[in-house]
Structure 1
């Protein structure tokens, strides 16, 4: 009979996620992860296969949260500019802002496990698809110009979204972020 786990997997993943989020893959050393999560090395390797597996599992947990938040806002009917603005304005920097774990993974391509990078690309792709669906709704409702390039605008919104997260790391204030969103939304509206 196998021994029961002496730890809660979700708690371990949350602790690992916070460490990877703050320090990145390379900055979160194995000894510190063991101490921070409360796992011993044997359990970490048995459960996750090592540091790379732990990172990928923590990122999967984060993506579950993140994509759920995007879906909750960007699937509200009728789809359109209101949803896009709502999701962009939902970003809060706060005093201890570490960016977006998914975007941090994308920007650290050469140092994160390849599987983690691929997961982050897929997550970003899903968010872009949600933006495109709302742009299609905005087009159908006459909120954007009839000649609008939905694919191009979807990519632009994904780029804006990612840029806002990076701007938070660079010290952009909430007021500056709000001004950027206001300008972007004005640029999208039908003329």
Structure 2
């Protein structure tokens, strides 16, 4: 299957309950999932999110806009451009997108930021090395004008590359 180039627009509004931040879309996503968050082959985000107790049903990538509207849950990718692997992302591109993502958090003031994978978290805090534990972090992302801050939760990557973690770990 040939890789497909596309981007996914952010789904975010002011005071989103949870803002999930992924790395970037998969260029190998099934055709019907193109343009939707966490739609790559083997990505278990939607299964885990549906079973973690925060939603009232089973949902998939095609439900991202519905979930955004019904539950006030936001989604964005650190880099909105699809690639076969995050290893295809240039360092300068990541750094630019980190600045833009932090500005969005500052402006939209999500109640909780959930970094889907250590790659996202470590880049957002400008510390791509070192050990971090999953769960709530001591890091917060401040809002504009000092009006508050978004606490940060780190969960394992839900893509196939995060296979070292069980689905139970990813649901927590």
Question: Which one has the largest radius of gyration?
Answer: 1
RCO higher in 1 or 2 (8 Å CA, sep ≥ 6)?
A: 2
Higher helix share: 1
TM-score, with length taken from structure 2: 0.30
Higher strand share: 2
